Structure 1
Amino acid sequence: MGRGRAKAKQTKVARQLKYTSHTIDYDRLREELGADSRRDDMHPATSSEQESEPAR
Structure 2
Amino acid sequence: MGRGRAKAKQTKVARDLKYRTYETDFGALARELHGNTDDGDQAETDQHDDWSDYAEPRRD
TM-score by length of 2: 0.52
Across the aligned residues of Structure 1 and Structure 2, the Cα RMSD in angstroms comes to 1.8
Q: Which runs of 5+ in 1 are unaligned?
A: 36-56
Give SS of 1:14's match: helix
The ranges of structure 1 where at least 4 consecutive aligned residues each deviate by more than 3 angstroms after the TM superposition are: none
Give SS of 2:23's match: coil
TM-score by length of 1: 0.55
Q: Which position in structure 2 is the counterpart of 1:48?
A: none
Relative contact order, higher structure (CA 8 A, sep 6+)? 1
Higher helix share: 2
